[in-house]
Structure 1
């Protein structure tokens, strides 16, 4: 019995050892698998971290600036002729016959002023003229009589000369009185306010019964008449583009109240000097306006043609870097490292720049560079499909 018990124990030991070895093997495999997964995850995270550390940039390629390009500048329109009409005589407005928007001819009446004081002055001046003429006639007759008396030695030569002088003075008084009558008659004509030329009444600042004060700087114009068959277009051209203003050049202009329609202006002159206040050259253009579509005082966008230089390159203005070194752009090299280049701006077109120094055709220029971008930084170029996403 005891012998059987001792012989059964060794048969269970190998089974227990095999289970332990299997367990250890499974544990080792699990450990290796776990370490492999962790190593894979580590490398993947490290790769993702490196990708995040390396900034992604968008690049653009400079374009050749040859050919004809346009520069858009603001401008304003004025009537070819515009005359504010003030009163030359004082009184009260008796009536007006033309309102704003009315078409008038040269010399056509616009209004009439009631001038009772001036009328009385006119009557008085005519009376003074009549008195002067009567005095002159009497003085002439007296002069003749005294000359006849002088021939018979009835009067002295001194007395005769005095009468002759009085006759001449009387004639001069007639001329003075006549001039006064003519002056007031001219003022009487100003009671009727007339259009100085054919055009459109663009302003009326008076009404019946208004007190009219003549020759007062503080008094607004009663009417404004403008000739709008042609228009004057004024454009302030920055000094950097002043050489684009050439004789006999033409420009295209747009106005907000006529979208999609363009008008043509012809250069008729410029100021010939750069304003110290605005730093610009004032250019004046003539624009035909037969239908009256353009209005005085209107804003216009003026497109000025400009001939480009074949040696200049055009890049977006968003590529420019402003630092203490001056204007720069960041170019991505073949090794994806950043090179900062000093550039010279030949022309600023607002949203685009023309560069004549510092860039080469085919350069990859970083668009919207960050402020921290430095020389030699490693970057990665964003794919076009990634930017679209």
Structure 2
């Protein structure tokens, strides 16, 4: 070995290597090349793995965002409904308009609104000059017909006597008898006309058909009264009997089997706070109204003191024979489909559209008497496209103290 330079020293080293072994410079190049290949493989692997991981994360994010996030609530458990309170309206036990039966001009009236009248009391009087004139003429025609009948009777009797002596022919006797029969028929016809006009004349006076209160007067002195011959008749008075009051209320179909005629009921009104009027369930319509899905019920209440007025808004308290368990939930949880009312309940992370039976409507909340349990998770504000089997994610509740 000589210190002349790196080349000579390397030559000496290379000469020292055994025969068949690669030179030291070649081995170092192979190592460097191998390291470069390994580094390139690691870089390629890292790039491919990073891209695959990013695509996987993107797929998971896309799938997660496709699942709608919904808000869910549990229905509130209501107490047993031992009493059902429903809105109703009051009506008089008997209520009728009063019309004129003859045409003319109103001569006078005797009762105004609010007047208490008895059956048969005079309410108004109508001046009917045309009817009076027709009656006078018809009575004169009746007298003429009666005179003709008297003459026909005498003629028929005389001809009957003459026929016995063969003084006249049988034909003449028969003619006299026929004239007598025609005269009788004419008298009967005139009598019927006179009776009809006398009835029309009696309609000049308008009487109360039952005991009650005048609630409307739609005419005045001198007004033209048309009995409906040329146009629709106009109501003169309106009469109501309020010694008993009928209260009509619509009972939801779910409670229709719990009400029966003869049951007791209470009626309350806002103008009588803290006071209840006792009534009896008189009758039901025995049919469910397909539009409102309710049963029409009539409650009769004694009103001898006249405190209750027809047309008032009232609340009817019905005692149910069998208490019914129910739950309430917000009204924005309802889904209206052609099959009926549904709510969306979450089962195993998926929506399930469940049919329900509605009880009372409280405005912002709805009573459900069948189809839901208190432990069900009901979706609020469900979308119109929501169907059974749709995957949903429940919105996490806000932490305590978080701003709303």
Same fold (TM over 0.5): yes
Equivalence for 2:286: 272
2:78/2:328 contact within 8 Å kept: no
Report the Cα distance in structure 2 between the residues aligned to 1:136 and 1:357, rounded to whole angstroms.
86
Equivalence for 1:77: 90
Q: Could you give the per-residue CA deviations for residues 279-316 of structure 1, whole angstroms, max 9, x where no partner exists?
A: 43322221211121222222223233335656x45344
Equivalence for 1:348: 359
**TM-score, normalization by structure 1:** 0.71
Report the Cα distance in structure 2 between the residues aligned to 1:355 and 1:240, rounded to whole angstroms.
7
Q: Sort the Cα spacing of 1:86 and 1:378 in 2 relative to 1 into closer, same or farther, 3 A.
A: closer
Question: Secondary structure of the residue that 2:272 maps to in structure 1?
Answer: coil
Q: Does 1:240 align with 2:240?
A: no
> Deviation of residue 101 (structure 1)?
0.6
2:85/2:315 contact within 8 Å kept: no
Q: Sort the Cα spacing of 1:364 and 1:182 in 2 relative to 1 into closer, same or farther, 3 A.
A: closer
Between 101-110 and 278-287, the greater mean CA deviation after superposition: 278-287
Report the Cα distance in structure 1 between the residues aligned to 2:111 and 2:370, rounded to whole angstroms.
59
Matches within 5 A, 1:67-146: 68-72=82-86, 74-146=87-159
Q: Which runs of 5+ in 2 are unaligned?
A: 1-68, 384-390
Alignment coverage as a number of residue pairs: 320
Question: Secondary structure of the residue that 2:320 maps to in structure 1?
Answer: strand
> Deviation of residue 86 (structure 1)?
0.8
Q: Sort the Cα spacing of 1:356 and 1:168 in 2 relative to 1 into closer, same or farther, 3 A.
A: closer
Q: Could you give the per-residue CA deviations for residues 168-214 of structure 1, whole angstroms, max 9, x where no partner exists?
A: 22122222111111111111111000001111111110000001111
When the two chains are superposed, the root-mean-square deviation of aligned CA atoms in Å is 3.5
Equivalence for 1:230: 244
2:107/2:222 contact within 8 Å kept: yes
Segments of 4+ moved more than 6 angstroms? 57-61, 337-342, 370-373
Equivalence for 2:296: 282
Which of these two proteins has the greater Rg computed from alpha carbons? 2
1:63/1:315 contact within 8 Å kept: yes
Q: Could you give the per-residue CA deviations for residues 301-354 of structure 1, whole angstroms, max 9, x where no partner exists?
A: 3233335656x45344369475999414579xxxxx999787664443223534
Q: Does 1:154 align with 2:167?
A: yes
2:397 to 369, 374, 379: 379
2:82/2:323 contact within 8 Å kept: no
Equivalence for 2:314: 300
